[in-house]
Chain A
């Protein structure tokens, strides 16, 4: 099948590649760019494991063609850590609050939470739950993911994190 040339910015670096018109963005990221942090859980837009950030929006990359992302600015899980390589507030929050188990949903969940906190730096629990409802986790029951995002929110806002009583 004829291939199309695409260029985009991924985690701040210019990348390019030749793709078929039908190549899914998630396959371009995982296979062409060899960045395997973005996962595939359902290929039907339900689970959110493939979530990446495109031009300031959370997008499920299994439901977008690579050609549609031509010229866009993308952040994947590999671009979430702090510039000095340390864990970002969100990554730290997920670890401190035990917000992950098998780790398969985690990249999509963190990338989604990254955008959520940009849109709403101090979300309520209900807003967090609604905000991550496009991402399925099979291991944690979400409770500690909510805490992880609250932890990150507190840290970003420079306030002390107070764990809600059970």
Chain B
């Protein structure tokens, strides 16, 4: 060794492995406009398809006349349900076990439903054609309010289900009922309420909203008649699942379907499901023999492809006088729109909503969910959350604040009193989950100390007094949120999509020069997988992250995986990467032992290679081992250095966090100002702190939007009134608050690298923090619960209703 020999720290830093704020690989192309998104795909002779959509929320389709449309220059075909019936594709299965019309078959069930698909030489001609398709409708009474879905005289929406008394998830109680799902011990819970000293009950609504990534849903389908092969470029969060679904419903051999998800401009759950546009573009390509592109516009995106939430949660907590919770009872009315197109694991019609006991030690709980149909767009998807987890977190976090108010206790103190204690992990919740790890008290106290929580409460008390004296018109709210997420779906024992277990996969192939490629079953939509996956490999096998290329999104080359959503990539695929890397490392150790002429057991891994124990000079770098793998492996060993891992997680992971929102509201205008927002996240082992922080910023901004105004709203006659970014609140840099981030680290005990996933935590934990801040601000004026979204007008309305404004 000499002065030029790098130190251990230098060798380690050179890897840019886990824990490093590695700059992103993706940014080189994205900052130069050289990303390759679906709309950038141009194939020779490519046609464009676009939809004729229904202006009515509920109507019978009497006649579709395409004769004038077919005379429009450039228009080649008009596809209707009748066309699709010839290939048995007028309806398609949803991920939730329901069926959905691809194109209107006899009637339409929501405004902007797909009625016909016009195929033309370019997007302008397609639009001309749409204007010439004449559709004759007979309007039917619309059903908008989910609370009226199961009225005796409610209109029949789904005529295809006539006489069906049970659906994919058990018995149906009414012609507009989809499923009832219940979990927990009803008897024990009812008993807890009977003897409770204190109870609260509130109907807490989580309004309908939309993930609305900046790039809409789109695809290019190209059918090769000679080979009988279908290639689909699409905005798919789960490309392999799409391939299987297409194979099953189009009856095409799976090996002849090539699904490619190129760069994706955000997903947030919008790009998990299968939409009519994909089916129509594929059929149009088969019919015309040419590639067909379908690109949704923003209005179509907001009004037709999957919405999120729309959960109406009647919530009750039983507690003792000193604030110890003794029972939780929740009934949810879930509005799924015209078709149940939920993107949940198959056995979970309400997702993982049974995480609703949250971070608290409830001795007993009972939950029942009723899904119903309405004349609205179908869904709903998990908008940056594990399945229905954000609804659950909002429900319990709002309810805990309501209980605190009733008990005249501080909301933070009430939470501290009821947290699951560190020694209770692994913790079995009353509604059936096994929480892997957590240290809630430490996280909560860190939040309170860092923000000066006690001083803020004191300031609030002074401001309230000043308000009552008429010295100010501003009120102040502190929104506490302590969430526990459940992510990483999931173990094959309880998670599948259409029968496919929700494992994920990684294949690593090392090349002779000490470089390699990792192919994945996941698909980044902005999460930076090309950067972070390489960091895990770098730490595991000692090859610099820069030397590892990560490839995702091509079903021909990637091992089968279930895709990226529900914060499952790090918990599931991240584990698969570590396991595949460890297989590489094990073989590398055998090669090193052979080359260094020692027994394998005499070697130890040292950052970037293997060293003979006790003989520091005898070292073989991973780079040299890669060369040896193609040159001089031990006798009897196959050459090469590659491995694949399919990882079936033993459990979910349970990230958590403590958030605080400090908000001031002017009662005369309803205008709020987020003075401060602090977010402490515990996602276990941190792979790239820069990316984690970025994810938290983005998720908080979405939470801010949802809580403070972002809503898909219908009027009483079924018109969607939030169909563009003019009406659908999309915060700009001006409205968006400044974010403070912090962390604790409680690794997952069952994950190979201890990571839990973080992408969705800020959306899950952020919404209750904002809503609790608003509610906390108004509480001293006598309110217990104000429904979201809390826009200026609603804040002013609340102040007026409470008598604070004349």
Contact = CB atoms under 8 A, between A and B. Distances in A.
Contacts of B733: 128-130, 132-133, 135, 137, 142, 145-146
B190 interface: no
B214 interface: yes
Given A130-B734, A132-B733, A38 B33 contact: yes
Given A37-B33, A44-B724, A133-B733, A139 B698 contact: yes
Nearest to B703: A141
A94 B298 contact: no
Given A95-B24, A106-B30, A141 B700 contact: yes
Contacts of B724: 42, 44, 46
B33 A95 contact: no
A77 B32 contact: yes
Contacts of A103: 26-27, 29-31, 35, 263, 265, 526
B151 interface: no
A104 B26 CA distance: 12
Nearest to A125: B738
B726 interface: yes
Contacts of A46: 298, 724-726, 730
A136 B525 contact: no
Contact of B265 (A20, A39, A132, A166): A39
B32 A102 contact: no
Contact of B697 (A44, A132, A143): A143
A68 interface: no
A22 B125 CA distance: 12
A138 B124 contact: no
A55 interface: no
A138 B263 contact: no
Interface in B741-759: 741
B219 to A, nearest CB: 15
Residue from the set A30, A36, A49, A135 with the largest chain B CB neighbour count within 10 Å: A36
Interface string B286-299: 00000000000111
A148 B740 CA distance: 17
B265 A142 contact: no
A139 B212 CA distance: 11
Contacts of B214: 39, 41, 47, 49, 102, 104-105, 136-138
Nearest to B299: A44
B298 A138 contact: no
A139 B266 contact: yes
Per DSSP, are chain B's interface residues mostly helix, strand or loop, or mixed? loop
B739 A141 contact: yes
Contact of A98 (B24, B700, B732): B24
B31 A44 contact: no
B28 interface: yes
B298 A41 contact: yes
Nearest to A90: B31
B741 A166 contact: yes
Contacts of A124: none
A138 B30 contact: no
A140 interface: yes
B253 interface: no
Interface in B197-228: 212-216
Contacts of B525: 102
Contacts of B805: none
A106 B31 contact: yes
B277 to A, nearest CB: 16
Per DSSP, are chain A's interface residues mostly helix, strand or loop, or mixed? loop
Contacts of B528: 101
Nearest to B42: A34
Nearest to B27: A95
Contacts of A110: 31
Contacts of B501: none
A42 B698 contact: no
B171 interface: no
A94 to B, nearest CB: 5
A60 to B, nearest CB: 12
Interface string B689-705: 01101110110111000
B40 interface: yes
Interface string A76-117: 111011000001000100111010111111110010000000
B632 to A, nearest CB: 41
A146 B40 CA distance: 28
B31 A142 contact: no
B493 interface: no
B298 A139 contact: no
Interface string A25-42: 001001100111111111
Given A43-B298, A105-B214, A138-B212, A78 B32 contact: yes
A106 B24 CA distance: 14
B23 A95 contact: yes
Contacts of B34: 37
Nearest to A94: B31
A135 B734 CA distance: 11
B37 A76 contact: no
A32 to B, nearest CB: 11
A23 interface: yes
Interface in B293-315: 297-299
Residue from the set B29, B214, B525 with the largest chain A CB neighbour count within 10 Å: B214
Nearest to B705: A138
Interface string B544-582: 000000000000000000000000000000000000000
Given A46-B724, A98-B24, A138-B268, A91 B37 contact: no
Nearest to B302: A42
B23 A104 contact: no
A101 B527 contact: yes
A47 B124 contact: no
B20 to A, nearest CB: 13
B39 interface: yes
Nearest to A130: B734
B705 to A, nearest CB: 9
B690 A98 contact: yes
A122 interface: no
Given A46-B726, A101-B694, A128-B733, A143 B32 contact: no
A63 interface: no
B40 A36 contact: yes
A115 B550 CA distance: 35
A138 B732 contact: no
Contact of A78 (B33, B263, B691): B33
Contacts of B26: 103
Interface in B244-290: 263-266, 268
Nearest to A38: B33
A36 B527 contact: no
Given A43-B298, A130-B734, A101 B701 contact: no
Given A94-B27, A103-B35, A138-B212, A44 B298 contact: yes
Contact of A100 (B30, B216, B701, B738): B30
Residue from the set A37, A78, A101, A107 with the largest chain B CB neighbour count within 10 Å: A101
Nearest to B73: A1
A138 B266 contact: yes
B736 A142 contact: yes
Nearest to B74: A1
Interface in B26-57: 26-37, 39-40, 42
A44 B32 contact: no
Contacts of B690: 98
24 contacts: A36-B39, A39-B39, A39-B265, A40-B39, A42-B725, A43-B297, A91-B31, A95-B31, A98-B690, A101-B527, A104-B35, A104-B265, A106-B30, A134-B732, A135-B732, A135-B733, A136-B214, A137-B733, A138-B266, A138-B698, A141-B697, A141-B698, A141-B701, A142-B701
Given A42-B724, A77-B32, A138-B730, 15 more contacts: A30-B40, A39-B214, A47-B298, A87-B32, A94-B31, A98-B23, A101-B694, A101-B698, A102-B214, A104-B35, A107-B33, A129-B736, A137-B733, A140-B694, A144-B694
Interface of A: 20, 22-23, 27, 30-31, 34-44, 46-47, 49, 76-78, 80-81, 87, 91, 94-96, 98, 100-107, 110, 128-130, 132-146, 166
